[in-house]
Structure formats: structure tokens, C-alpha cells
């Protein structure tokens, strides 16, 4: 299977190409440059693999939650590619992708993903490693103040994401001995979105046509005076 994945939901911008289990990625921390970077990243990956977009089998993207503008960029780009080449799309949670990256890079099997949602709130998800070394959420994704986040049971949790930079003190106090360590420099990667999408596709998840692709914001009122 040949799959192109992108993510622009946070300060990080990345694209990844999955070809029968082998993955290559372009990744950069580039706030406010996603719109100019993401398509060249994808084109470079395809050119290096000597592939064209119509030769792909599937597209995937970080569907949020995250930056409102960033998530919209990802949706717009992936819909444009999908419409042009008549390709199906699998949306992937950026919070689950963040957890998958922490498993890949740190070996963490229990991850608390937190992305700064501004306005004193967090996007939050708890994930554990399942069959095949793939992260799965243990419950619903949340948007709440750090003092109101619903915390999981058990110990040995790893924290990951920008939410731990902005609200780590409160989260560490609330979790106490349940938290093993927090990784403040973690971002979602298209590489991990590709991994999750490939696993979902193999497990029988139905991809979407371009017109049904939607972002996930969690916050209904994305602009507040």
C-alpha cells in the first residue's frame, strides 16, 4: 500500500510517505509557515520515491484537535489532493498521533497527550499501546482547564505535548505518582499518522471520500473576543 500523510495541527509541519511499511518523512518546526511548506514537502517525498499522486492508494491527515488555522490548512490540502486524484482519506487524531510518536521515540506504552488550546485550556487524551504496537485512546478526547481534566487511573503514564509546557505544574500536582515523566518537546508527526492510518485501513476502517472529510476542533466557539 502507498499512503501519503500530512499534519499541520500544531507548530510542527510534516509530511510522510508510507510504501508497504517503509516510511519517509519531512518534518519542521515552523509556526505560521505551514501553508507554504506542506505541499513542497509532499512533492519532494513523491519525487524521491518516483511516484505520482494517482499512484497512491490512500491519503491521511491530522484531523485535529489543534490550532484552528493549522487544522484547516490540513483539511484544505488533503481535500484538494483527494478531489484531484479521486483518492480516499483516513482522518487521524493528532492527540493519538502524539501518543504514537511518544511510543516510537520513548518506548512509552501509556501516554497522556496534551496540546495547548489557549484560553487556559487543553486538548487532552489518554492512550495505551494495543496490538501491533499501535496507540489507542482509552476514552473521549477532552477540552478543559487543566484543573478540570478527567484523569486516568493507574501509574506509569508519560506526558507529551505543548500542554505540558503551559500547564505542566498543575497536571503534575494532580497526577502525582501516577505520572512517570513528561516530554515537553513532543509534537505530532505525519510519520505516526501514516502508521495509524495504515493500521486502521488494515483493520477494516472505512476511508472517506473527499467531500466528507472534516476537521475536529472540540471547541465550538473557536474565536472569542
Q: Would 76 be classed as within a structural domain?
A: yes
Q: How far apart are CA 8 and CA 184, in angstroms?
A: 18
Reduced to 3 states, what is the DSSP secondary structure of residue 25? strand
Dump pLDDT digits (tens) for 30-56.
Answer: 999 999 999 999 999 999 999 999 999
- If one counts the domains in the chain, the total is 2
Residue range 125-172, pLDDT digits in tens: 999 999 889 999 999 999 999 999 999 999 999 999 999 999 999 999
- 10 inside domain: yes
In a domain, 142, yes or no: yes
Question: CA torsion sign, 212 to 213 to 219 to 220?
Answer: negative
Output the domain CATH number for residue 65: 3.30.420.40
Query: Are 87 and 41 in a shared domain?
Result: yes
16: which 3 cell numbers? 510522510
* Same structural domain, 30 and 113: no
Residues 87 and 124 in one domain: no
Q: What is the pLDDT of residue 219?
A: 83
Q: 120 and 67 in one domain?
A: no
Instruction: Show the domain range for 49.
Output: 2-93+188-212
Amino acid at each position: 500500500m502507498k499512503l501519503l500523510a500530512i499534519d499541520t495541527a500544531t507548530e510542527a509541519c510534516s509530511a510522510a510517505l508510507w510504501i508497504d511499511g517503509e516510511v519517509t518523512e519531512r518534518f519542521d518546526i515552523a509556526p505560521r509557515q505551514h501553508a507554504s511548506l506542506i505541499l513542497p514537502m509532499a512533492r519532494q517525498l513523491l519525487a524521491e520515491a518516483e511516484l505520482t499522486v494517482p499512484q497512491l492508494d490512500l491519503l491521511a491527515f491530522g484531523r485535529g484537535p489543534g490550532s484552528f488555522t493549522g487544522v484547516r490548512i490540513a483539511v484544505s490540502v488533503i481535500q484538494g489532493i483527494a478531489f484531484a486524484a479521486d483518492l480516499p482519506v483516513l482522518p487521524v487524531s493528532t492527540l493519538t498521533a502524539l501518543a504514537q510518536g511518544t511510543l516510537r521515540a520513548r518506548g512509552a506504552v501509556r501516554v497522556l497527550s496534551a496540546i495547548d488550546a489557549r484560553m487556559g485550556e487543553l486538548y487532552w487524551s489518554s492512550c495505551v499501546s494495543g496490538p501491533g504496537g499501535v496507540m489507542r485512546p482509552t476514552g473521549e478526547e477532552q477540552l478543559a482547564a487543566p484543573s478540570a481534566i478527567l484523569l486516568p487511573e493507574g501509574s506509569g503514564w508519560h506526558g507529551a505535548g505543548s500542554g505540558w509546557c503551559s500547564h505542566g505544574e498543575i497536571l503534575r500536582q494532580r497526577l502525582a505518582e501516577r505520572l512517570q515523566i513528561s516530554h515537553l518537546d513532543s509534537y505530532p508527526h505525519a510519520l505516526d499518522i501514516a502508521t495509524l492510518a495504515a493500521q486502521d485501513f488494515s483493520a477494516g476502517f472505512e476511508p472517506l471520500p473527499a467531500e466528507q472529510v472534516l476537521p475536529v476542533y472540540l471547541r465550538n466557539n473557536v474565536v472569542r473576543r
